Amino acid sequence: MSSTTFLRLSQLSLVTSALLSGHAFAEQQKEEQAIEKIAVYGQHHKNYITEEAQSATKLGLTIKETPQSISVVSRALMDDFSLDNLNAVLESTPGVTVEQIETDRTYFKARGFEITNFQVNGMGMPQDNGSIQGTLDTSIFDSVEIVRGANGLMTGAGNPSATVNMVLKRPTYQTQVNASVSYGSWDNKRLELDASTAINENHAVRAVFTKHKTESYLDRYEQDKTIYYLAYEGQLTDSTVVTANYVNQKKDADSPLWGALPLYYSDGSATNFDASTSTASDWSYWNNTTEQLFLSIEQAITNTWFLKASYAHLENEQDSELFYVFGTPDRETGLGLTGYASEYDHKDKHDILDIYATGKFDLFGMEHDLSFGVNQADMDNKDKSLYDRTTGNGFPAMPELGGWDGVAPVPTLTDGLTGADITSRQRSAYISTRIRATDSFSVLAGVSQVNWETEGASYGVAKDKDTDQTVPYFGAVYDINASLSTYASYTETFVPQTERDINGDYLDPITGKSSEIGVKAQLLDDDLFVTVAYFDAKQVGLAIAIPDSLPDDTRYYGADGINSDGIEVELSGQINETLSASFSYSNLNIDGDELVKDYTPENQFKLAVTHKVPEIDGLTFGLNYRWQDDTKRVQVRDAATNAALITTTQDAYGLLNLMATYDINDNMSVNLNVNNVTNEKYIHSLFWAQGYYGAPRNYSVSFNWQL
């Protein structure tokens, strides 16, 4: 997008704001009372139900009013089942698969595509891929929102998979103090402290401290996490609110997996190691540090309009020395593997600014909603890799893995310096509206004009690109009655490409298109929320190499990529005074990529239930169960016929977790969690050709105190 286009869109937003604000201000003069509080669209938890989310639009709509599938994992669900990291949260989310390929690197997928859109408090964090290094702790989150499908209106570049919004805890004006200490299998120790109080009637602060140290079922693996969180909220005037949030999260991992276990022997038969088997050396480590600062100011213009400006500064650093094992072992001896040592350092920095106005206006006797704004994200990514190709310690021959104690030659990592130095900027201007045609029928529409610029190179490959894209959003909602509504929507998003066509020009971006129809219902006095959705998503313009292109100058053409469709059913909330539940079923069909189709489960079932025992005051039982059908990965194909010669298969499996909580008194409680009760042995993911096993049966006990 040219600077002229961006300026015009910005001017359009300002002009529209002035006109609508003027009209609303005139109406405001008729009000006898002054504005006392700024409008805040927050979460209202009823156990496992949340009514509102801000990840799909900025119109202040409830989940029922938004024509897309939205799931919210509430603080209550995270607390009940000790969902202490983002992996555990998304494992409980409908239609999401957690591709845990290593101990400290994870990919998330939805509807056949990688999730690359992540937000904190509604602010997008643009990135080229969906891998998350380390594990994001949830002790600082109030909830996690997941909008499935394309969401280009809010995030710009990305896949038609989902958007994950992590909502930070906010200060409370009533003093509250919470403390929790837990101990579990493999010397798993965790401490959480959470305190919030008002400074005076207009200012409040909150602080969270978390310390988590644990060994592991995996040989040699240990992790040490420390999280600091500070939040401030202040009402400067009757119409102005400012907030500030600071996050510092550090995770040090000793003997982490880089890569994982070989899944087949040289004769083609499947390996079957102990679940504890690791390929990590005793000297390897992977340390991740994240520092985040969020600032925002909200200014009420009238009692129905406000302006919000937000700024975020994010820094992530990785420092690691890693050990990878590759090759195919002999079935009889276990030999045939080779080690591979590397030093990997990474630093990325994001500066994000978002300014928007939102509110209501009257037209043709009906009240409508409008939101518009501009966004800019500046991103710097630098990393480097070092190897040992000189001393002989960088690529040692490996002993049989089953009896290996992790002792490997210590490399001198000074060779083959390579890396990346990339600078990117994403700019967008967006507008969205909800028009009420009647009391029962609403139409939503929006458009985002996005420009993505990148300069630099990654491991010798130029990443220069300059892409403009217009991203549309359309939707409609019809309220059948006060409890039941139907909806339909069409959304898009895009991914820039650096591949060139036959003429040497850059290919157009990959376009992700997502269509969805569904039914939403709020039942049982609005305590139970139900969604049934059918979706169809596809990629258009995926770079495919032209046959017979020169290896050092490969040219590409745009083709259709993955096409997926399926159904998702979700139920969450409070069924009666003693029973709360979160249930989902998803079915996914994928065409266009056999590899993705094979390792992605077609059917998933997830259930979390808690029951307060009426006969024993303070006692609650619960279960958390998730099941997926079989997956596979073709490892070796016949070069002539393309027939599968060696295939790794993961049979269908289910994981059952149980919990029990007893409230000792109004201030103290004890919680017991037992995970993988049936001791199921399973491979975490077939996203890569390697894999490792999930945790066997384990437990944790926590003592909780609140003021």
- Split at pLDDT 50, 70, 90, the class of 56 is low
* In the predicted structure, residue 4 carries a pLDDT above the cut 50: no
Domains of the chain: 3-706 (2.40.170.20)
- Split at pLDDT 50, 70, 90, the class of 25 is very low
- pLDDT tens-digit profile of 632-666? 999 999 988 989 999 999 999 999 999 999 999 99
Give the separation between CA 339 and CA 601, rounded to whole angstroms. Answer: 32
String of DSSP letters for 225-264:
EEEEEEEEEEEEETTEEEEEEEEEEEEEEES--SS-B--B
Give the β-pairing of 176-184 and 698-706.
antiparallel
Write down the mean pLDDT value for the chain.
88
Residue bearing the bigger pLDDT, 135 or 95? 95
Stretch 51-62: mean pLDDT? 70
The three-point CA angle 347-209-240 to 5° equals 85
* In the predicted structure, residue 607 carries a pLDDT above the cut 90: yes
- Helix or strand or coil: residue 170? coil
pLDDT at 675: 97
Establish how many alpha carbons lie within 13 A of residue 23's alpha carbon, considering only the half-sphere containing its beta carbon. Answer: 10
The answer to whether the Cα torsion of 143, 110, 92, 258 is positive or negative is negative
Which of 143-152, 183-192, 381-390 ranks highest by mean pLDDT?
183-192
Stretch 168-179: mean pLDDT? 95
Structure tokens at 282: 């005793």
- pLDDT tens-digit profile of 509-566? 888 899 999 999 999 988 899 999 999 999 888 888 887 666 666 778 888 888 999 9
pLDDT at 544: 80
Give the separation between CA 256 and CA 288, rounded to whole angstroms. Answer: 12
pLDDT at 5: 39
Residue bearing the bigger pLDDT, 623 or 27? 623
pLDDT at 146: 92
* In the predicted structure, residue 157 carries a pLDDT above the cut 80: no
DSSP state of 302: S
- pLDDT tens-digit profile of 293-349? 999 999 999 989 999 999 999 999 999 999 999 999 999 999 999 999 999 999 999
Residue 40 dihedral angles phi and psi, to the nearest 5°: -130, 125
Residue bearing the bigger pLDDT, 129 or 535? 535
- Class of residue 707 by CB neighbours under 10 A (exposed 0-12, middle 13-18, buried 19+): exposed
pLDDT at 154: 67
Tell me the whole-structure pTM to 2 decimals: 0.89
- Class of residue 215 by CB neighbours under 10 A (exposed 0-12, middle 13-18, buried 19+): middle
| Residue the block writes with tokens 């305590």 | 527
pLDDT at 29: 39
> In this structure, are residues 226 and 611 in contact, taking their beta carbons and an 8 Å threshold?
no
Structure tokens at 640: 């002539």
- pLDDT tens-digit profile of 444-492? 999 999 998 999 988 888 888 888 889 999 999 999 999 999 999 999 8
- pLDDT tens-digit profile of 112-127? 999 988 999 888 887 6
* In the predicted structure, residue 61 carries a pLDDT above the cut 80: yes
